[in-house]
Each structure stands twice: as C-alpha cells, then as structure tokens.
Amino acid sequence: MTSRHLSLLKPSGHLTLGNLLGALRPMAAAQDDADCVYGVADLHAMTITHDPVVLRARTAELATLLLAAGLDRSTLFVQSRVPAHAQLAYLLECVTTTGELNRMIQFKEKGRGVGSTRASLYTYPALMAADILLYRPARVPVGDDQRQHVELTRDLALRFNRMYGEVFTIPEIVTPAAGARVMDLQDPTSKMGKSAADTAGVIQLLDSPDVVRRKVSRAVTDSDTGSEAVRIDQDRKPGVTNLVEILLACGGSTAGLTTYGALKKAVTDAVVAELEPLQQRYADLAADAAYVSQVYATGAARARELAAPVLAAAEAAIGL
Ligand code: AMP
C-alpha cells in the first residue's frame, strides 16, 4: 500500500524561501512514492483577528503557489471546502479536556488571560487533530514546533477509540532528518517566518530579483576578513552560515568565494535562479484562475471522499 503524506499550510502571510526549502520542496519530492494530500488551512488563519478580503487573497495566492511549486501530482484542496474538518473537530472537542487545551503552548503564549482571545485559538488543536485523523496517515512527520499538536492528536484518537469504539488509526510521530532551516537575514538566530512583522530579512517567493538583491545585500554577516571568512560556523557566524546554506540549497557553491560581497552576489544569483521558474509558473497560473479552481475542486472532491467514511464512523460511534 502506498503511504499517504498529509500537510496543510496556513495562509497567514506570504510564503518565504524558508517555506520553499523546508516544506514545498520535500512535499514535491514525496509525490514520487506517496499518495500526497496537501491543503490550504484557511480555517486555521482565523484564530486571530483577520480581514476577510486579505484571507481570501492569501488563500488564493497560496493555492496557486502550491501548484507553481510543482505539487501537481497531489490532491490539493482548501480546508473549508471539506466540511468534514470542522465537523470532526467538534466531535473531537467532545473528548478534549480544557486542561489539555490550557497546556497548549500557542494558547499559553498568545491567548491565555487576554480577554479578547478568540475561542478558536483555544480549540484549534482539535481542528488540527481532525485535519490529521480524517486521512488516516500511518505516520506524521513533525518538526519540534508541531510535536505537541500531534501528541494531542494521538491522545484524542486513543481516547475516542477507547470510549466509543475503534474509529481512528493512531498516527506514528516521525521526526524527519533535520531539513533546511532558513533563518531571517536580519536576525539569523530566528527562523525566516511568513508572519514576521518586519520583512527586511525575509525573502518572499514572489519577491522580484531587485527586492531579493536588496534584502541579501543588507543581510547581517560579521566582521571577519581573510580567505576563511566564508564558511559554516553556526555558533560564531550565524549570518554567514545562513547565507552559505541558502546558497548550497539553491544549487550554488562557495568555491572561490572569499568576500562577503562575492558571497552575497552568489546568493542573490542562486535565489533569483531558484525563484524565477516558480514565479513564471505562478504568473501563468494566476492568469488562468479557472484552471486553478478546477484543480482545487477536483482535489476537494477527492478529500471529501477520503474523509467521509472516517467522519461517518466517528458520528455513528459517538451516538449521532
Ligand atoms: P509556517 O510557515 O511556520 O506555518 O510553516 C509551514 C511549513 O514551512 C512547515 O513545514 C515549516 O517547517 C516550514 N518552514 C517555515 N519556515 C521555515 C524556515 N525558515 N526554514 C525551513 N522551513 C520552514
């Protein structure tokens, strides 16, 4: 049986080079030997104050970017078009305790004790559990930041099965080999993130070559000079290390590079070359919105088919 890969990305900002190297590229590679189900998690982008117009635009941009990044052999869907996600989330809330939700790091950091916190920021871990359990993946690869969510997903599935009957497959948590982790060019000790308020150190996938050049040329380095200055040294040279790793991940090489100016030029060229075909495909797809809609409609239909028996079994078991 082919294994199933599942991944949902939240449209909470413009995708970055970090998303490309750390998520989209491995997602594309997985298509060779797995049944890949990938989604745009629009419901998850509503746990904090949001603007409906912006949400819709970001959802469309992300949906188009996933296709432009080569995920054209996957089942692609937008989460809200598959109502089973929200429906199963409610059933799972019925086996989740407030104690468990109080312990979730995101809620502790962003919402606890703040009167205006949306209830959805509190309950979204149940939605995330539904996102996973509906598709019965045998394994869920998670980075450290997502581990707590998948552990909760397992706990909820086990509890549901124990209380109401065997409905859910319990996913195994697997830790992928440390992948590319792209750091912010202005603050190389923190991740290049799509929700960053300041984008000076964040390369977005749709940045023009000029913008890429400007951001890379202003990247933080250090005051080393000499023929050994351009090298990987995570502890002492985080900025230069990040640039070198970006260069290598984009198919470049440090051979012959001795100055930071030369390094930055090589990084700019490699990143621009990496983004160019993706941006070209994005422009073509954006001009053909009917095609993108068709792909997502077909994907949502398949996702609904995959999810339906799991939701039906859960409903029957719990007494609906
Ligand atoms: P996020 O943008 O944080 O919601 O993450 C979406 C996906 O992109 C996850 O698989 C992350 O691991 C990956 N990702 C996000 N930022 C980076 C980054 N700076 N470097 C590598 N992978 C990243």
| 34-87 confidence digits (pLDDT tens) | 999 999 999 999 999 999 999 999 999 999 999 999 999 999 999 999 999 999
Architecture of domain 3-180+288-318: 3-Layer(aba) Sandwich (3.40)
pLDDT of residue 178: 62
Query: Residue 310 is inside which H or E element, if any?
Result: helix 289-318
Q: What average pLDDT does the chain have?
A: 95
- Hey, which of 15, 19, 147, 149 would you mutate to test ligand 1's pocket, going by the most ligand atoms within 8 Å of its Cβ? 19
CA of 194, closest atom in ligand 1: 2
State the catalytic residue, choosing from 10, 108, 110, 264.
Answer: 110
CA of 145, closest atom in ligand 1: 12
Whose Cα sits closest to atom 2 in ligand 1?
Answer: 194
47 versus 115: the higher-pLDDT residue is: 47
Q: What percent of the chain has pLDDT over 70?
A: 98
What gap in Å lies between CA 167 and CA 158, rounded to an integer? 9
Class of the domain covering 209-283: mainly alpha
* 10 and 176 Cβ atoms separated by less than 8 Å: no
Same fold for the pair 3-180+288-318 and 209-283: no
Predicted confidence (pLDDT) at residue 171 exceeds the cutoff of 60: yes
What distance in angstroms lies between residue 189's CA and the mean position of ligand 1's atoms?
15
Residue 130 backbone phi and psi in degrees, to 5: -65, -45
For the question of residue 10 being annotated catalytic, the response is: no
CA of 7, closest atom in ligand 1: 10
For the question of residue 110 being annotated catalytic, the response is: yes
| Extents of the domains making up the chain | 3-180+288-318, 209-283
Pocket of ligand 1 (CB under 6 A): 9-10, 18-19, 21-23, 143, 180-182, 191-194
pLDDT of residue 144: 75
Predicted confidence (pLDDT) at residue 179 exceeds the cutoff of 70: no
pLDDT tens for residues 247-266?
999 999 999 999 999 999 99
- Which residue type does 250 have? C
pTM over 0.85: yes
Mean pLDDT on 15-20: 95
What gap in Å lies between CA 185 and CA 193, rounded to an integer? 11
Q: Per mean pLDDT, which range of 22-26, 268-272, 285-289 is the poorest?
A: 22-26
Whose tokens are 């040294």? That residue is 233
pLDDT of residue 271: 98
